[in-house]
Structure 1
Amino acid sequence: MPDTAALAPRVIQAPLNYLRPIAERPRRYVAAPPPGVPETNIETEAHLVPVEDGRGREAEFTLDRNGFALIEAPTGFADWYDPAAVRARYLPEVERVVRQALGATRVVAFDHNVRDAARLQADPALREPAKRVHNDYTYGSAPERVRSLLPAEAEALLRQRFAIVNLWRPLEVVQESPLALADWTSIRDEDLVESDLVYADRVGVTYQVVHNPRHRWVYFPRQRPEEALLIKCYDSADDGRARLSFHGAFDDPTSPPDAPPRRSIEVRTLVFWNPADA
């Protein structure tokens, strides 16, 4: 008989920051808030949870079953701190990778974030790792994003299957603040709390997440730049396939004390399929 202990995945206990329940609707201002209004009313609370090591089992996790997948996707691009170069050269590359990986008809890369805590003061356009459990879109705000980005085509496109998928890549081997991904099969609608993200010209709506002990978490330690995580933030298909995978960075208790700050880039994409291919 196989040694079941040897087959069991390695599991670490790590703190993940969930939404502390509040009476009002969660909100964060990206633009300057009105006078006397705090930037956010969101508070988090850390819960120590088991996080499975997905190494050696990468093929077990798929976008349609779990809401995330790790793929090999080497790149020759390196101008990460030049936004114009990213838009001109890296985003089209991401579109090709996602289209091929998902068998999609069309992919539109529309947004990117570079995260590098070490360079925040020198470049305010950068961000630090988001150490809170969240999902970038809601079941309602995802279709609205299509309408805002592709207004002339939106109604036709929304009659077929579409998804919002992030491609997340580290810029060097991840040694601290890795990304934890929630398995869709452990997610319930009551875990999801709509939250406003207030810009100067629009209000986006995302999901904050309240703790549920049934959540199954997975991470891929020491992820390499040649590897990319595909993270499903929304899928219009409601036929049993995964519709999302909320996620968040966390403090890895196994990180070396002198680990360099994590550097990564994430690209958001709209993914469309012809009905015959969906």
Structure 2
Amino acid sequence: MTMPLSTLGPAVRATLNYSVDNGIPPDYYFYEPDPGIQLNPPGTDAREVAIHDGWPQVEKFSLDREGFELHDFIGRFDQFDDEASVHAQFYPQVIDHVQRHTGAKRVVVFDHTIRKRLPADLKVQTEVQRPAVLLVHSDYTVASGPQRVRDILGREAEPLLMGRVAFYNVWKPLYQRVEELPLAMCDATTHDPADLLRMDLKYRERTGEIYVMRHAPQHRWVYFPKMEAHHALLLKTYDSSTDGRCRFMGHSAFEDPTTPPGAPRRESIEVRTMAFF
């Protein structure tokens, strides 16, 4: 059941980058492709939408219904520029957070990304630091979710895949309030499975896939303006369960028209986890 609009806070109108459904999977190259390759880029269908303030109903959102929740993050950590400390000290805090709010028996962290306002030029990006993603997407597909479990856990994977597995991103500010480029979530009760379009991620050594989304007028978008460093969003990006709960949830950073001039640049981290039940 979709949450009534009247229970949400005021909306801003902003542009989100959907993808055109032309029958061909969109693609994105992580290297310079050969000049003769015909590209089919995602995010070319820019739409102005209403994005509603979710704070008035923050305690009502559900990972298994809308696909996202926001909670206080109990752990304390401020060494995000130290990769070894992130792995040794912050990852265990993330595992505890995911288990506490999902009831998972086991949680595995498999990577993280620090998001900042960076140029789109791949030459100035790193494996860990990347720009905010201004594209409506969900991180995994029905095929790439299980494959990621196999890639990470090897021989452990097949027995685990016989049970339920779900992927959750933990998204939080690094040190200070987020005042620009906030994250918007598409209420999973308002999109149709056919709105999810497979996108090919082209690496030199392999091809991965995620979902991007085509536009539909019934999509409802929610964000939490001015998130503080002690807040953390949980985003569901894959669920193997087919019992009617949310399996995928579209999301995107966006340019908030209410951001004050001179606002601090957004710095956030998203940690990707797989949870077993």
Cα deviation for residue 263 of structure 1 reads 0.6
Q: In structure 2, how many angstroms separate the alpha carbons of the residues matched to 1:198 and 1:84?
A: 29
User: What is the count of residue pairs matched by the alignment?
Assistant: 270
- The residue that corresponds to 2:198 in the other structure is 194
Contact 2:180 2:255 in 1 (8 A): yes
- The residue that corresponds to 1:276 in the other structure is none
- Please give the residue correspondences for 1:157-176 in structure 2 after superposition, counting only pairs within 5 Å: 157-171=160-174, 172-176=176-180
TM-score (norm 2): 0.90
- The residue that corresponds to 1:99 in the other structure is 99
Cα-Cα RMSD: 2.3
- Secondary structure of 1:239's partner? coil
Q: Which moved more, 1:245-254 or 1:115-124?
A: 115-124
Q: Percent same amino acid among aligned pairs?
A: 42
- The residue that corresponds to 1:16 in the other structure is 16
Q: 1:248 to 1:6 in 2, by over 3 A?
A: closer
- Structure 2 residue corresponding to 1:250, chosen from 243, 247, 254: 254
Is 1:139 equivalent to 2:142 in the alignment?
A: yes
Given residue 115 of structure 2, which amino acid in structure 1 is its aligned partner? Answer: R
- Secondary structure of 2:113's partner? strand
- Please give the residue correspondences for 1:155-234 in structure 2 after superposition, counting only pairs within 5 Å: 155-171=158-174, 172-234=176-238
- Structure 1 residue corresponding to 2:270, chosen from 232, 242, 266: 266
- Secondary structure of 2:56's partner? coil
Q: 1:5 to 1:223 in 2, by over 3 A?
A: closer
Q: 1:161 to 1:7 in 2, by over 3 A?
A: closer
- The residue that corresponds to 1:124 in the other structure is 125
- The residue that corresponds to 2:83 in the other structure is 83
- Secondary structure of 2:241's partner? coil
Q: Which moved more, 1:256-265 or 1:104-113?
A: 256-265
TM-score (norm 1): 0.90
Q: 1:26 to 1:161 in 2, by over 3 A?
A: same
Q: In structure 1, how many angstroms separate the alpha carbons of the residues matched to 2:88 and 2:36?
A: 40
Q: 1:35 to 1:8 in 2, by over 3 A?
A: closer
Contact 1:64 1:241 in 2 (8 A): yes
Q: In structure 2, how many angstroms separate the alpha carbons of the residues matched to 1:149 and 1:77?
A: 26
Superimposed CA distance per residue, residues 100-135 of structure 1 (whole angstroms, 9 cap, x where no aligned partner): 111110000001000122699996322111011001
Contact 2:237 2:249 in 1 (8 A): yes
Gaps of 5+ in 2: none
- Secondary structure of 1:51's partner? strand
Gaps of 5+ in 1: 274-278
Q: In structure 2, how many angstroms separate the alpha carbons of the residues matched to 1:196 and 1:83?
A: 29
